[in-house]
Amino acid sequence: MDLNLISIISHVLATTAFSQLTLGHVVMILVAFVLIYLAIWKKFEPLLLLPIGFGCLLANIPMSLMTSTDEGGLLAFFYQGVKHEVLPPIIFLGVGALTDFGPLLANPMTLLLGAAAQIGVYTTLIGAVMIGFNMQEASAIGIIGGADGPTSIFIATKLAPHLLAPIAVAAYSYMSLVPLIQPPIMRFLTTEEERKIKMAQLKPISQTVKIVFPVIVTVVCCLMLPGVTPLLGMLMLGNLFRESGVTARLHETAETHLINIVTILLALAVGSSMTAESFLRLETIKIIVLGLLAFTFATAGGVLFGRLMCKLSGGKVNPLIGSAGVSAVPMAARVSQKVGAEEEPSNFLLMHAMGPNVAGVIGSAVAAGVFISLFGSPGPETHAAIEPIVQAISQP
């Protein structure tokens, strides 16, 4: 009887996930706990980190069939929306419906601040090549500097799918840490007098201009960089829903229910790819470090260009708004407002910062389009032509 009882207990235990639990699973479950903790107790980008963390938890329960590679599994089904580049563009549709391009149109010069912040993308690409990543991998890592999660996922899926998990986690983590990372950089690179500069009120923009803008941007940018059409096209369509005045139901759906549903699916899908095999590697540490450098350079690039605009305008531009040139909408703009108000409580920079902030969304999408055009699968001859140039630049 004792032998039979032991045999039964052994058989039961063999059918549980405990029998297949490895050290890698335990480490990744702890990583999931950290993400969930940051989301709930620290409120770091909870709408993203919470489902990503829980997806990671589910994926690392052995025998659960909940990883992105488990054929027929629930999260593998969700992951098809990432693999086939469906979910990130739908997120952009919702972002477009939420975005007001009015501040950018009222002060078109702030587009340059959004462009300047993309320096973090390109410097990180060079840095990634220097430490051993190939051009496709370096391009996907560099987009982290744009602080744009959907774009990072989109380009990683196209150019470096094996790095999707660490790239996505790094991008969303640094997006959530904007209020902690940016202020010290902003204060270090500006003077007290510059931070106190008050900017003139923005002029109103007509509805006609707001309607024409997304159409023109779609035509011009997508003809130049067709690879980014899924992202930029959906962004501008969502904005057209917002500004046209004739699609109230579509606008409401895109900015609320649709983006919320797709955010859940996308975040769970990303979490499902965070297995020990794909995440616990030296490359992950490199990507985390490179992502921080990318974000730092992006913030610094925007602020320094803001200082240049301040000088050229005779002190009419507060350089703090340059930090909003990254694509974390509207969090980066709020940080500009907060730092400015700390120096001068009556200063109101939020709407001015929204100009470079939404420009950063367009800029990161354009940067992704450039990388896809240069290093995507359709043009191997282009890779051969451009790679020696980048490697020459990256030589110490």
Domain ranges of the chain: 88-393
DSSP letter (8 states) at residue 224 = H
* Angstrom distance (rounded) from CA 293 to CA 371: 19
Find out whether 124 and 297 touch, Cβ atoms under 8 Å.
yes
Helix ranges (H only) for 245-281 are 248-253, 259-272, 276-279
What sign results for the dihedral spanned by CA atoms 35, 41, 44, 49?
Answer: positive
Find out whether 263 and 91 touch, Cβ atoms under 8 Å.
yes
Question: Of the candidates 179, 198, 173, 214, which has an alpha carbon nearest to the alpha carbon of residue 53?
Answer: 173
- Residue that the structure tokens 């990388």 belong to: 371
Sequence letter at residue 351: M
One digit per residue, the tens of pLDDT, for the chain of length 396 reads 455 767 766 666 667 878 788 999 999 999 999 999 989 998 888 888 899 999 999 999 998 999 998 988 999 999 999 989 899 999 999 999 999 999 999 999 999 999 999 999 999 999 999 999 999 999 999 998 887 888 999 999 999 998 988 998 888 878 878 888 899 999 999 999 999 999 988 889 999 999 999 999 999 999 999 988 999 999 999 999 999 999 999 999 999 999 999 999 999 999 999 999 888 888 988 998 998 888 899 999 999 999 999 999 999 999 999 999 988 888 899 999 999 999 889 889 999 999 999 999 999 999 999 999 888 865 444 445 555 555 554 555
Assign 24 to helix, strand or coil: helix
* Angstrom distance (rounded) from CA 67 to CA 274: 8
- Residue that the structure tokens 């389009």 belong to: 369
Q: Which two tokens stand for residue 97?
A: 């419906």
